[in-house]
């Protein structure tokens, strides 16, 4: 596995403390396909790719939005990918729904981190979740933010599947039909602090 921590020091992110879990779940599931919805500056995408297992598809308009701010990050992530030397990433430039209409690959790990309104998150979950394998996993970032317009937490609470929620780095919800996998994650990781991670 490639040590990417030094490469990521200049990457703006609110995802920092989820890196160890991302690397662990990739090694644990040995995925063929990982989809990262909402790349921005690429931190989570690079974390998923660093074990060198499977193909990571980073999907984003690379235009920003009213919540994250408007900015073009496409060249930044291309340059950073080349700098790190991660050859298992493919960036797809576009909006989630049109790309989903052409998507055909079964997904092992899906990370949802696009626009954070209730309806946007629900749409991403329903549109892309149908591609996730029965033994796969869905991650949702920002499950602990409860400011106006950020309603990931609300939709996450409604999901009736085995799930847990990491409460640091703005929250990372973890959902899977595989109850034993969720129980395993719960036994290996602390849900409240990244300092108790066991690799």
Residue spans of the domains in the chain: they are 35-192
Report DSSP state, residue 105: -
Q: Look up residue 20 and give its two tokens.
A: 């160890």
**pLDDT tens digits along 65-82:** 767 667 789 999 999 999
Work out the average pLDDT over 35-57: 97
Determine if the pTM surpasses 0.85.
yes
The values of phi and psi at residue 171, to 5°, are: 95, 135
Other beta carbons less than 10 A from residue 106's beta carbon: 13
The values of phi and psi at residue 82, to 5°, are: -70, -40
**pLDDT tens digits along 102-129:** 999 999 999 999 999 999 999 999 999 9
The pLDDT of residue 191 is 85
Contacts of 143 (CB under 8 A, 6+ apart): 152, 153, 156, 165, 170, 171, 172, 173
CATH of domain 35-192: 3.40.50.150
What is the rounded distance in angstroms from the CA atom of residue 162 to the CA atom of residue 183? 9
- H-helix segments, 41-117: 43-49, 74-84, 96-102
Work out the average pLDDT over 34-60: 97
């Amino acid at each position: 596995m490639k040590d990417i921590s030094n490469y990521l020091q200049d990457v703006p992110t609110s995802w920092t403390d989820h890196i160890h879990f991302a690397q662990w779940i990739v090694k644990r599931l040995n995925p063929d396909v990982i989809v990262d919805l909402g790349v921005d500056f690429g931190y989570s995408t690079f974390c998923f790719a660093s074990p060198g297992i499977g193909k990571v598809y980073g999907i984003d308009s690379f235009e920003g939005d009213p919540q994250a701010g408007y900015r073009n990050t496409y060249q930044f992530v291309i340059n950073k990918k080349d700098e790190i030397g991660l050859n298992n990433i493919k960036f797809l430039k576009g909006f989630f729904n049109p790309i989903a209409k052409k998507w055909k690959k079964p997904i092992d790990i899906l990370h949802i981190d696009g626009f954070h309104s209730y309806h946007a998150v629900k749409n991403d979950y329903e549109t892309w979740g149908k591609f996730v394998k029965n033994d796969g996993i869905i991650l949702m970032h920002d499950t602990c933010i409860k400011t106006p317009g950020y309603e990931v937490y609300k939709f996450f609470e409604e999901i009736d599947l085995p799930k847990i929620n990491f409460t640091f780095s703005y929250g990372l919800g973890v959902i899977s039909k595989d109850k034993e996998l969720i129980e395993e994650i719960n036994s290996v990781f602390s849900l409240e602090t990244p300092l108790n991670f066991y690799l």
